[in-house]
Structure 1
Amino acid sequence: MQVITSNEYNKFRDSNTCLAIGAFDGLHKGHQLIISQALKEAKKNNYPAAVLSFHPHPLEIIPGKNPPPSIVSRQQKISLLEAMGVDYYFEQEFNQEFAQLRAEEFINNILLASLRVNTVVVGDDFRFAYKNEGNVEILKKMGELHGYQAKIISQLHASDDRISSTRIRSLLKNGKIKKAKKLLGRSYQICGKVVHGKKRGRKLGFPTANLSLETNYALPPEGVYAVKVHHCGKEYIGAANLGYNPTFNNQDISFEVYILDFEGDLYGQRLCVDIIEFIRGEKDFAAKEELINQMQQDILYTRELLC
């Protein structure tokens, strides 16, 4: 898959693009349905399959607004789209200039002139351009005028409610990991680079990888989790602690992973961690021996659960 940012659109030479458009901020089952339809159309007509999305989050450029926590990082989004079979990922920089584009300018200047679309696939709640003036009806009417097809996909529902990133964030916040997994179509995954920590785990006999997270993730409740760890194409099982380590009075939240049956230096390397199941909440242990005993139990439970 080729990644093309908006300042490189002029390098794009293909044509008849079958393009899925959206924020795709969770790449959940609802988003996957839209992208899958674009892939089907592309395959049927032997066109290139593409996705247009936005970076950074629009709320990052509005003074006084804060974007919601992320379900996927930029790196994860790119990897997931590539795994789906997308040929081109167009990443539009969301800045003040782009936010001022009118609906017809977006269609004429970007979709037609730059990305040379043949087919556009969006969800039925798709809005675009200045003050969200663009909608699916405008997209279809402009398609009739300019000769591209606009395919509108109805939103996917689960348990009589629409699948959305907002709903998934709420499930994660409330610790409903398995329900979030159903809506995502995959395990919830957190990625980051291994950095030096306090090395307390090593001193206790359980060396942990301390992750600096690569985005502001939507985090589940603090506690210990059974996890699967992806590193260099291999999968390991582990136990992760998300929280403040009250026994040691940490001030900052941390995400530390003990990888079972692994030896090696991981500093500076990227790990992706699937959150599988909540084991227990954080505890303040009176003695290190109690903590060690609890960690042994956590690891035993993880091994029984995931092996």
Structure 2
Amino acid sequence: MSRLFRDVDGGPRCPHGSVVCIGAFDGLHLGHRALVRHAVARSRAIGGAPAPGPHGGGLPAVALSFEPLPREFFAPQAPPPRLLSPRAKVEGLCELGADQVGLLRFDARLSGLDAETFIERVLVEHLRAREIWVGPGFRFGRARGGDIELLHRVGRERGFVAGEIEPVMLDGERVSSTRIRAALQDGAFEAATRMLGRPYAIGGRVVRGRQLGRTLGYPTANIRFGGRTPALSGIYATWVHGVGAEPMASVSSLGTRPTVDGVEPLLEAHLFDFDGDLYGRRIEVEFVAKLRDEERFDDLPALVAQMHRDAERARGILARSSRSNGPHSRMRTSLKEPSFE
């Protein structure tokens, strides 16, 4: 049986029971990781049928999330910036110990379910949940009508236990995807790293662009975003992972390229002292420092002159920084992966 499921049609997926955690899990930050690890620990502690996969006995731990995210579904013209792609989220949840991952299609059908119906169809009938764990203040169901109190009440009637983990705090505030997005947009990468538990990077497969950078003396490895909104924009000093044994120093642009009339967001990474073909290669671009905002220049010579200044500054910053050993060897933060549509 595949570890990933997208809907709840058919018979029970976990006929002997399961331990379920639910969340958006965008970013898989310290709070998300605490929730998943708690659910996994509880699943291993509960007796029953052996869990599938490499984790041994207990009940299967199921991490339940949604794609697209509910906020994206309800606000398609102004979606929130994404920290994590669907594929990277699934990989990260599995790496945290989830035996199965539900990435439910959040559409008109699912969004129209009231909270009690969601509990009955998804958690009781399909997953046979014995325990359900959520983060602080979690709401679900039509009009966000469900909460931990409803889970407690239905659980007493249907034979499962529900719990809410304590918030993970950092610098006196709760760790959240909203705080991480704000830190990234401000260029506060050290703060984002602390909340994520790892450096922030964007990964994906290198695609062909207009090859304008090559004609200007700055060939780039390009990553597209598949219609999703990136969490940051501008020019950055970066490390690129996945090209050689060690991360490679680079300067990267993330945005719509106003000087050359670009439209869709594109990540363009120029690797210093590298000459090779990366098309089709999967890489990760780790962000170290923001150099400036994206801007429009009067002509290409003015753009190239600024690119020279950006490259020189990025080299200096990276020469002074500690080289990362690969921020996502354990958990990727990738915005462009094979489609889950």
Q: Same fold (TM over 0.5)?
A: yes
Give 2:144's aligned residue: 132
The answer to which structure has the higher strand fraction is: 1
3-state DSSP class of the match of 2:206?
strand
3-state DSSP class of the match of 2:321?
helix
Give 1:12's aligned residue: 13
Q: Residue 33 of structure 1 aligns to which amino acid in structure 2?
A: A
Stretches of structure 1 that go unaligned for 5 or more consecutive residues are: none
Aligned: 1:186 with 2:187:
no
Partners of 2:293 and 2:7 in 1: CA distance: 44
Give 1:99's aligned residue: 111
1:70-95 deviation per Cα after TM superposition (whole angstroms, max 9, x unaligned): 11111111121122121100121112
Partners of 2:94 and 2:254 in 1: CA distance: 29
Give 2:27's aligned residue: 26
Q: Residue 207 of structure 2 aligns to which amino acid in structure 1?
A: V
- Matched-pair contact (CA < 8 Å) for 2:79–2:229: no
- Matched-pair contact (CA < 8 Å) for 2:237–2:291: yes
Partners of 2:86 and 2:157 in 1: CA distance: 35
Q: Which of 210, 230, 251 is equivalent to 1:198? A: 210
Q: Which of 285, 299, 304 is equivalent to 2:315? A: 299
Partners of 1:63 and 1:175 in 2: CA distance: 26
3-state DSSP class of the match of 1:182?
helix
Partners of 1:259 and 1:104 in 2: CA distance: 53
Name the structure, 1 or 2, with higher relative contact order (CA <8 Å, separation 6+): 2
Q: Which of 86, 91, 102 is equivalent to 1:74? A: 86
1:9-32 deviation per Cα after TM superposition (whole angstroms, max 9, x unaligned): 647255321111111223211111
Q: Residue 19 of structure 2 aligns to which amino acid in structure 1?
A: C
> TM-score if structure 1 supplies the norm length?
0.86
* Aligned-residue RMSD, C-alpha: 2.9
CA displacement at 1:256 relative to structure 2: 0.9
- Matched-pair contact (CA < 8 Å) for 1:188–1:274: yes
CA displacement at 1:184 relative to structure 2: 1.3
Q: Which of 145, 152, 161 is equivalent to 1:149? A: 161
1:77-133 deviation per Cα after TM superposition (whole angstroms, max 9, x unaligned): 112112212110012111222222222211111101101111111113011112112
Decide whether aligned partners of structure 1 residues 50 and 29 sit closer, same or farther in structure 2, where only a CA change above 3 A counts: same
Q: Which of 123, 132, 136 is equivalent to 2:135? A: 123
CA displacement at 1:135 relative to structure 2: 0.9
3-state DSSP class of the match of 1:211?
strand
Give the paired residue count: 306
- Matched-pair contact (CA < 8 Å) for 1:210–1:256: yes
Stretches of structure 2 that go unaligned for 5 or more consecutive residues are: 47-57, 324-341
